């Protein structure tokens, strides 16, 4: 895994880590995947007998891959910030539209495109696709990273 060092530096752990793999990260965006385990806590009670992944969890997955992983990469390229002990993150805004459900056990791919990174605020356009390449959700997510 080429970007394992970024994933290990995320300030999350199971059951709230929603990044399995990063396939691409550069100064303009990030791409990664996550498979939602069927035994995840959020499926219990979220539509009894027909569980689907809650939108807030899909948004979190998009933010972790598309904003936080990219933010860590961008900060690594800022000479004044390379020596920091830990990464601090604060979500500042989200706008996400949902098109298809994500079922337990389903893998998704998240693709982000940096809109801007100024004064440690990162804003990205992000899409989530299912394994058939169909659009699950799309939006813009911004956060303060430092």
Ranges of H-type helices in the chain: 4-8, 55-63, 70-76
pTM greater than 0.85: yes
pLDDT of residue 54: 97
Name residues of the chain where pLDDT drops below 70.
Answer: 1-2, 79-87
CA-closest candidate to residue 47, choices 97, 90, 114, 104? 104
Contact in structure between 47 and 55 (CB atoms under 8 Å): no
Q: Under a CB-based contact definition with an 8 Å cutoff, are residues 52 and 46 in contact?
A: yes
Query: How would CATH label the architecture of 4-145?
Result: Roll (3.10)
CA dihedral 127, 133, 137, 138 (to 10 degrees): 30
């Amino acid at each position: 895994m080429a970007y394992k060092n970024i994933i290990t530096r995320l300030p999350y752990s199971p059951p709230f880590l929603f990044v399995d793999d990063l396939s691409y990260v550069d100064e303009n965006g990030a791409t990664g995947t996550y498979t939602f385990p069927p035994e995840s806590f959020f499926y219990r009670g979220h539509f009894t007998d027909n569980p689907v992944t809650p939108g807030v969890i899909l948004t979190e997955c998009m933010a972790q891959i598309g904003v936080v992983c990219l933010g860590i990469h961008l900060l690594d390229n800022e000479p004044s910030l390379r020596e920091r002990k830990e990464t601090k993150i604060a979500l500042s805004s989200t706008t996400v539209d949902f098109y298809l459900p994500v079922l337990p056990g389903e893998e998704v791919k998240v693709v982000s495109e940096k809109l801007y990174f100024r004064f440690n605020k990162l804003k990205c356009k992000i899409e989530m696709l299912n394994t058939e390449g169909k659009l699950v959700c799309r939006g813009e997510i911004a956060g303060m990273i430092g």
